[in-house]
Structure 1
Amino acid sequence: MTLPAPARFGIMTAPSQVDYADLLRVWREADTVPGIEHAWLFDHLLPIYGDPRGVTYEGWTLLAALAAHTRRLRLGVMVTSNRFRPPAVLAKIAATVDVVSGGRLDFGIGAGSRPDVPMARREYEAHGLPYHDGAHAVSALAEACAVIRRLWTEPEPFDFTGEHIRLAGAFGNPKPVQRPHPPVLVGGRASATLRVAAEHADVWNYPGDDVADAVRRGALLDRHCADLGRDPASITRSLVLPVSYDDPAPVRETIRRATAAGFRHLVLMLPAPYPEGVARWLADEIIGERPV
C-alpha cells in the first residue's frame, strides 16, 4: 500500500501594515527551520485591513528581495491577482524570481479580488486598473495560465490570439531554472476557477481554513479533473490556516482535520507584529512531529 505524502508546512506573512525589516527577519529565521518548507506573500496594492493609508508592499518586488536573502525555502505569492499585470509581463517577472532564487519559485495565481470586498475593490480604481466581472476574470485567468506556460517552455517566438490576450512574437528569455517550469498553484473556490485549476494547477489552494467547505470544493475539483481525463491525485491540496500566538490549539486541531481530509500543503498565516523567534515557535508548538 502506498502511504500518503506527509504534510508540508509553510508560512504566510502579509506584506501590509508591517516593516520590511520585520518580514526579512521572519523569512530568514524560517529559512533555518527544516519543518518550514515554503513561504508566501499576498498580492494587494493597498491595505485590505487596518489603516487604509498604511504601508503595503508590491508582492513580486518584495518576493525577489526575500528570494535573494534566503537559500532553502520555496517561495511565492498566494495568490497573484491576474487582474494586476499583463500575463506576458508576469511570466517575465516570475522567471526572473525563479532565477534569483535558484529555482525555488512556486507560482501562485488566481482570478483576482472578489467584488464583495470593498477594501480590495478600491485598489483597482486607485491604480487605473480595469475591474471586470467574475466570468471575465476567470476566462482571462485560463488564457493567462496557458500563455505563461508557453512563455516558460517554448524555444521559439509565437503569436497568441485569445479573447483577452493578444501577443505577437511572444518569447520568454530567460526561462525559469525549474524544468519544465515552476509548479503552478491556482487559488480559488468558485466552480469556474476550479475548472481552471483542474486543467493547469499542480497545487490547488482553498482560500481559507473551512475544512468542510474545502472538502466539498475539492470534490468539485475532482469532477472537473474527471471531465478533462486528469488524475485528481496529481493536484496537491492546500489550505491557509490563521495562527494565534496566544492559543495555538485551534490551528493544531484544524491541521489534524485537514490532513485527515487529504490536504498536504498547509500555510500558516502569521499575524503582525511577529514575536521574536516566531518560526522556531511554529516548529515547536504547531508543526512538531506529525503522522501522515
Structure 2
Amino acid sequence: MPRTTGTSFGILTAPQQVDYADILRVWREADAIPEIEHAWLFDHLMPIGGDPAGPIHEGWTLLSALAAQTSRVRLGLLVTSNRFRPPAMLAKIATTVDIVSGGRLDFGIGVGSRPSHPLARREYDAHGLPFHETADAVRGFAEACAVIRRLWTEDEPFDFDGTHHRLTGAFANPKPVQRPHPPFVIGGRSAATLRVVAEHADVWNIPGGDLEDVVSRSALLDRYCTEIGRDPASITRSIHLPVSYDRPEDTRKAIGEAVDAGFGHVVLGLPSPYPEGVARWVAAELIG
C-alpha cells in the first residue's frame, strides 16, 4: 500500500503479558524507522487481556524508561486513566517524561477504564482506588485537563476550587520542554467526553472497529467544536487499529478506510509476542 501523504503512523505495544526487554527491542527498532512517527503504551494496572494474573508494567514509569532509550519517535500513553492519579501529580509526571525525552511527549489522557470491561473494574479495588461513576468521572476529567494546562502554562501559584479537584498554591517548576505545552491527545467516544475533547484536545483518538460509528462520533465532535467557536479542523483525528500479522491485507484495508474517513493519525496496535523485525515489517507491509 503506498504511503498516504499527510498521514502519521505509529505503533502501540500494550505492556501486558510481555517483558520489558521485548518492548524495548520493538521501540528501539521503531525509533530508527522514519515511517513510524510515534509509539504508545496503554495505562492499566492489571491485565485486561490474556492471563488475568500475568505481568503488566506501569505505563508512565515504563514510558520514561523508553524515552531515555529512544531519540526520535514521539511517545505517549493511549491513554492515561484520569481515575488513577491526581491531576497535579500527573502534570509533574508528564513534565518529567517530556524533559527526559527532549520534548517528544504526546500527552494522552482520557476519563479512564470502561466500567463495562470485566477485567478493568478490578484494578480499582485491588489498588485501593475509588471508582467514580461515569458522569462524575467525566466532570472530574474536564477539571483535570484545565488544571494540567494551567500548571504547564502559568508562572505564578494559583488556587483551583473545582467540584472534584481543589488545589491551593499550585505551581509547576520546571515546565515541559514543549511550549506552550505537550499536545493533549484525548481518547474517548461518549458524547460527554467529546465535549471535553472539543475544549481541550489537540488530537482526538478513538478505537477502530465500527467505522460507521467512528465517523458519526467525529461528526458529533465537529458539532461540539462549532458550538464553542472552535474550528473542528484544529483537532487531528486519530484512530487505533489492531494489526493482524497473518492477514496484513485486512489491516491495510482498515487503514485505507480510516484515512479516507478523515483520520490522519493512525496507531497500529501490535499483538504480542512481537516477531523479530516487527517494526520493519510494519513499515514495509502496512505503511509502505
TM, length-normalised to structure 2: 0.98
Counterpart Cα distance in 2 of 1:212 and 1:101: 37
Aligned residue number for residue 63 of structure 2: 63
Bigger mean CA offset, 25-34 vs 48-57: 48-57
Task: Spell out, residue by residue over 1:43-87, the C-alpha distance to the aligned partner (whole angstroms, 9 max, x if none).
Answer: 000001111111110000000000000000000000000000000
Show the counterpart of 1:190: 190
**In the aligned structure 2, how far is the partner of 1:199 from the partner of 1:251?**
32
Change (3 A) 1:231 1:214: same
Q: State the 1:133 CA deviation.
A: 0.8
Is 1:31–1:72's contact at 8 Å kept on the other side of the alignment? yes
- Whether 1:119 aligns to 2:131 is no
Q: Distance in 2 between matches of 1:261 and 1:114?
A: 25
Q: Deviations over 1:160-189 (max 9, x none)?
A: 000000000000111000000000011000
Aligned twin of 1:160:
160
2:5, 2:88 → 1: CA distance?
Answer: 34
The match for 1:81 is 81
Question: What residue identity is the alignment partner of 1:269?
Answer: G
Letter of the aligned partner of 1:223 in structure 2?
R
- Contact kept? 1:5, 1:264, Cα under 8 Å: no
Paired residues, number: 285
Alignment partner, residue 137 of structure 1: 137
Alignment match, 2:219: 219
- Residue 44 of structure 2 is matched in structure 1 by 44
Specify the SS of the correspondent of 2:204. strand
Q: Percent identity?
A: 72
| Partner of residue 35, structure 1 | 35
1:212 to partner: Cα distance: 1.6
SS in 1 for 2:39: strand
On the 8 A contact 1:16/1:54 being kept in 2, the answer is: yes
* Paired AA for residue 271 in structure 1: P
Distance in 1 (CA, whole Å) between partners of 2:56 and 2:105 is 22
* Aligned residue runs from structure 1 range 1-292, under 5 A: 6-288=6-288
CA–CA distance in structure 2, aligned partners of residues 5 and 149 of structure 1 = 31
Q: Secondary structure at the match of 1:128?
A: coil
User: Could you list the per-position Cα deviations for residues 253-292 of structure 1 after superposition, in whole angstroms to 9, with x for gaps in the alignment?
Assistant: 111111111100000000000000000000100000xxxx
- CA contact under 8 A between 2:28 and 2:69: conserved in structure 1? yes
Output the amino acid matched with 1:216: S
Compute the displacement of 1:209 (Å): 3.3
> What's the CA shift for 1:200?
0.1
Residue identity opposite 2:257 in structure 1: R
Residue type matched to 2:230 in 1?
Answer: R
Cα displacement string for residues 83-139 of structure 1 (whole angstroms, at most 9, x for unaligned residues): 000000000000000000000000000000111112000000000000011101110
Deviations 1:194-222 (A, max 9, x none): 00000000000012333221110000000
**Structure-1 separation of matches of 2:109 and 2:208:** 15
Q: CA deviation at 1:5?
A: 6.4
Could you tell me whether the CA contact under 8 Å between 1:11 and 1:267 is conserved in 2? yes
Letter in 2 for 1:245: Y
Structure 1 residues 156 and 205: alpha-carbon distance in aligned structure 2, compared to 1, 3 A threshold: same
Mean alpha-carbon deviation: is it higher for 194-203 or for 49-58? 49-58
Answer whether contact 1:209 1:239 (CA < 8 A) is retained. Answer: no
Task: Tell me the distance in 2 between the aligned counterparts of 1:214 and 1:203.
Answer: 15
Q: Which runs of 5+ in 2 are unaligned?
A: none
TM-score (norm 1): 0.96
Asked whether the equivalents of residues 207 and 241 of structure 2 are also in contact (C-alpha less than 8 Å), the reply is: no
Between the aligned partners of 1:87 and 1:107, the Cα distance in structure 2 is: 13
* 3-state SS of paired residue (2:121): helix
Residue identity opposite 2:240 in structure 1: V
1:147 is paired with a residue whose SS is helix
CA RMSD between the two structures: 0.9
Question: Structure 2 counterpart of 1:273, which letter?
Answer: P
Distance 1:213 1:30 in 2: 31
Q: Distance in 2 between matches of 1:226 and 1:38?
A: 29
- Which portions of structure 1, spanning 4 or more consecutive aligned residues, are displaced by more than 6 angstroms? none
